[in-house]
Amino acid sequence: MTHPHLDPSAMDDGGLGVRSVDVLLAGQASSGAFVASPNFPTYGYSWLRDGSFCARALDVVGEHQRAGDFHRWVERTIVGQRDRVEAVVSKLAAGITPDHEEMLPTRYTLDGDLEHHDPADPWPNYQLDGYGTWLWELREHLRSSGSEEFDKEAVELAARYLVAAWRTDCCDCWEELGDGQHASTLAAIAAGLQAAGTLLDEPAHLDEAVQVRSYLLETFVRDGIFRKGAADDRLDASLLWLVLPFGVVAADDPVMQRTVEELREDLAGPGGGLYRYLGDTYYGGGQWVLLTCWLAWYDAVVGRRADFEVRRRWVVQQATAELDLPEQILTEVQDPRMVEPWEKRWGPVANPLLWSHAMYLIMSEAATPWK
């Protein structure tokens, strides 16, 4: 299949770019939601965060209508949670912190309903980054597509929810560590509130975005680099999100530059991929395709062409014979003893992962000036 704005001859990837678009389109339900992975039952849901990047990738290749279908699905889903938003906002305004089960979930069914997860296999479901990511990417979609259509009620509900909840502890972007605040989450919130303030012409949301950003810069920089959590000094590859796409700091910000160099030193695998963080044991803690694409995206933006090519080649080499990209690679994992337990629990690593394919397309588009 051919796609607008996608030139396979310029990508030198054996058809991976075309396959990536096809995976995204095939993984989009009639509702507009993107399934996280079609062949991994545990990921049979739609995440606002993952889906927002899938929509961005479709905008990159000119599939604006299909990207818009996702944003319409999110709008309907959030409006459908109006009563839950109002209850959370009211409780927080009264100084009462709701239980995590009362908050908006991080993932929904493809029809926009709440999931019914097996209580015998608990899985945290309270995160805030997805709502901020969606608001930011909605604005980007409107810019790239030239559309002016969006549901103001959905944007206002999402923004009010973030304004009320951003100081609460939630899970990080990996659905782990639910007892603190996390830099990449706050970056998504700051960017999302900025986008909402712009879309709604609402100064209060813009002011709140400034407060979130200031808190992030004051709280998460220690010893000259950004840290994963307010009380967590580890490095995490999601710190790249502070620059791309959220723009909380510039790519040439000295603290960010030092942080990225630390990421390269501490989290780069022997083959060129990128680990999430040191000590990761999920499927042994392998190198993640989408995060490797993120570092390549950063390298493209700052003009490190040789580094970009190393990452790009590594990603292309991880594709299967069918040109599918998995979530992570199980060679050179951090804890080999933890591969088998996860495979017994949930099966083989998710493959294809739509988010991996989305980031491959986004990364590739960032290097267009070099082609």
> pLDDT tens, 169-212?
999 999 887 778 999 999 999 999 999 999 999 999 999 999 99
* 83 Cβ contact list (under 8 Å, min separation 6): none
Given a cut of 60, whether residue 117 has pLDDT beyond it is yes
Q: Give pLDDT, residue 179.
A: 74
Chain-centre distance of CA 287, in angstroms?
Answer: 16
Within 10 angstroms of residue 163's Cβ, the number of other Cβ atoms is 21
Q: What is the pLDDT of residues 251-288, one digit of tens each?
A: 999 999 999 999 999 999 988 999 999 999 999 999 99
Active site residues: 172, 175, 327
Kindly state whether residue 2 falls inside one of the protein's structural domains: no
Given a cut of 70, whether residue 225 has pLDDT beyond it is yes
Q: What is the CATH number of the domain that holds 139?
A: 1.50.10.10
Tokens found for residue 215: 């808190």
Give the number of C-alpha atoms closer than 13 A to the C-alpha of residue 161, restricted to the C-beta side: 30
Closest CA to 183 of 236, 137, 132, 120: 236
Kindly state whether residue 1 falls inside one of the protein's structural domains: no
Distances (CA, A) of 99 to 13, 27, 47, 168, 171: 47, 33, 21, 11, 13
| Domain range enclosing 62 | 8-370
DSSP string, 70-134: HHHHHHHHHHHTHHHHHHHHHHHHTT----GGGSPPSEE-TTSPPP---TTS------SHHHHHH
Q: Give pLDDT, residue 9.
A: 60
Kindly state whether residue 257 falls inside one of the protein's structural domains: yes
- How does residue 124 score in pLDDT terms, banded at 50, 70 and 90? confident
Whole-angstrom distance, CA of residue 310 vs CA of residue 314: 6
Kindly state whether residue 3 falls inside one of the protein's structural domains: no
Q: Give pLDDT, residue 113.
A: 95
Q: What is the pLDDT of residues 30-62, one digit of tens each?
A: 999 999 999 999 999 999 999 999 999 999 999
Kindly state whether residue 216 falls inside one of the protein's structural domains: yes
- Reduced to 3 states (helix: H, G, I; strand: E, B; else coil), residue 170 is strand
- How does residue 5 score in pLDDT terms, banded at 50, 70 and 90? low
Kindly state whether residue 201 falls inside one of the protein's structural domains: yes
Q: What is the pLDDT of residues 333-345, one digit of tens each?
A: 999 999 999 999 9
- When divided into structural domains, the chain yields a total of 1
Kindly state whether residue 215 falls inside one of the protein's structural domains: yes
Whole-angstrom distance, CA of residue 38 vs CA of residue 36: 7
- Reduced to 3 states (helix: H, G, I; strand: E, B; else coil), residue 182 is strand
Kindly state whether residue 194 falls inside one of the protein's structural domains: yes
